[in-house]
Amino acid sequence: MDIVRLAARSLYNRRYTAWLTLLSIALGVALMLGVEKVRLGAKTSFANTLSGADLIVGARSGAIPLLLYSVFRIGNATNNIDWQSYQAIAHYPAVRWTIPLSLGDSHRGFRVLGTNRDYFEHYRYARQRPLEFSAGQPFDDVYDAVLGADVADKLGYRLGQSIVLSHGIDSAGLAKHDDRPFRVVGILKRTGTPVDRTVHISLAGIEAIHVDWQSGARIPGAAVSAEQARAMDLTPRTLTAFLIGLDSKRHVFSMQRAINEYRPEPLLAILPGVTLQELWDMMSVAENALLGVSVGVVVSSLLGLLTVILAGLHERRREMAILRSVGATPWHIVTLLVTEATLLASCGVLCGVGLLYLLLWIAQPVIESHWGLYIVIAPPTGREFILMALTVGAGCLAGLLPAWLAYRYSLADGMTVRV
């Protein structure tokens, strides 16, 4: 205890240098734990892209491609699902709700999704959070559109504006449905998911803009006006995919097997959570890169601690000599320097944790609103406690080299006046 008190007083006597060292460690720890929080937040946000859906159904291809185009709006389906097949599966006794998804068009680089009002009622993300509107309401008319937050913000759209959709996924919009403009009737709150980057229209709207199209182009001489299209039968013929919510989780595997063995056409049913984990595992390079950043931050902080202690050691040679002259053993000198390093590392870790949570408290709403990344302000995880303990332990080890050098300094060398 005397050694700790002596180390604290020694640090106080060199308080300006000690404060700078402590600040360096605190910033390093805050950055290290911040990177860890961002890594966990990114992984959680990735896993929370879709919540509450028990199965995703599409044409038979691969589980990850189906997840990518149905949830993340990346890529295209190799084939579509017949509307009759969708209707048949939607009426299975175990099915509580379904959300049909029809993809294929775009608007100024953003994907267009055709669906129905069940989308706004049953779609969930981030642990059962429902979709909410920042303005307007769900679509009701054939030519109504609901925008994700990113679409509205980046393109500057407001309620009541007219927008023109493009055929296919062409950001240049070479083939436009300019004869059937849509009216913005709703804007969704930010979710941090692909919903933010999507233009939502009704399934009837998808059919209406394609009634006089075939094979990616207008049928010559078959022009249909917007009002004529409205009066036609706009029941979909095909879908890209659909989501299923079941009455009970115990029906998941039996329902998945029934869909995968569906006779009228080849279908694939996947478990969203399992496939999301498989996709994250494929992206482990990014996760490892973040971990590498964390390790680099820790190493740089500890090197800073070591550098500061070594830089001040030469100036403290007389102090060490005086301590030895009054009876301090080499072991006392070693213990003093190691204790100082440990105190600096411990206080730096505590200050770094406090700084991190202060910054999170201030920046969390901004990060979520601008980047859609929700970072939970929660007590440190076991992994983070381990990182903090390793930092303190490494700080203790960083004091061993200066302590060993101080041990080697002789009393005569320390008392010598250098001119």
27 and 78 assigned to the same domain: no
Domain assignment present for 170: yes
Which of 221, 238, 270 is the endpoint of a domain? 270
Q: Which CA distances in Å does 201 have to 121, 122, 151, 218, 389?
A: 15, 16, 14, 21, 53
Same domain, yes or no: 165 and 265: yes
Helices 330-371 and 2-13: angle between axes, nearest 10 degrees:
70
Q: Is 229 contained in some domain?
A: yes
User: Is there a single domain that holds both residue 160 and residue 297?
Assistant: no
Is residue 132 situated within a structural domain? Answer: yes
Q: How would you write the pLDDT of the chain (419 residues) with one tens digit per residue?
A: 576 776 677 666 667 777 877 887 888 888 888 877 877 777 777 777 888 899 999 999 889 999 999 998 888 888 999 999 999 999 999 999 999 999 989 998 899 999 999 999 999 998 788 999 999 999 999 999 999 999 999 999 999 999 999 887 755 445 788 888 999 999 999 888 899 999 999 999 999 998 877 666 667 666 778 888 888 889 999 999 999 999 999 999 999 999 999 999 999 999 998 998 888 777 777 767 766 776 777 777 777 767 766 766 666 666 666 666 666 666 677 777 778 788 888 888 899 899 999 988 888 777 766 665 667 778 888 888 888 888 888 878 877 777 777 666 644 454 454 44
pLDDT at 177: 81
At 58 the pLDDT is 95
Secondary structure of residue 213 in the 3-state scheme:
strand
Q: What is the pLDDT of residue 371?
A: 62
Residue 190 lies in a domain: yes
Residue 77 lies in a domain: yes
Eight-state DSSP code of residue 140: -
pLDDT of residue 230: 87
What is the structure's pLDDT at 411?
A: 47
Residue 258 shares a structural domain with residue 295: no
d(CA 292, CA 39): 11
Q: Are residues 6 and 66 in the same domain?
A: no
Q: Torsion-angle region of residue 105: left (phi > 0), alpha (psi -120 to 50) or beta?
A: beta
* CA 413 to chain centroid: 58
Residues 258, 142, single domain; the answer is yes
**Does residue 113 sit in the same domain as residue 258?**
yes
CA 24 – CA 316 distance, rounded (Å): 21
290 and 410 inside one domain: yes
Q: Is residue 123 part of a domain?
A: yes
- Which of 215, 247, 270 delimits the end of a domain? 270
Kindly state whether residues 343 and 390 are assigned to the same domain.
yes
* Residue that terminates a domain, selected from 247, 270, 293: 270
pLDDT reported for residue 314: 61
Q: Which helix (H) or strand (E) holds 244?
A: strand 241-246
pLDDT recorded at residue 66: 94
> What's the confidence (pLDDT) of residue 18?
74
**250 lies in the same domain as 116:** yes
> If you compute the radius of gyration of the chain from its CA atoms, what whole number of angstroms results?
31
Clarify whether residues 65 and 178 are in a common domain. yes
Q: Position of tokens 């049928």?
A: 219
Is 277 part of a structural domain of the chain?
no
Same domain, 134 and 66: yes
Q: Is residue 145 part of a domain?
A: yes
The overall pTM is greater than 0.85: no
- Domain count within the chain: 2
Structural domain harbouring 356: 2-46+284-415
> In the prediction, which pLDDT does 322 show?
67
* pLDDT for 391: 84
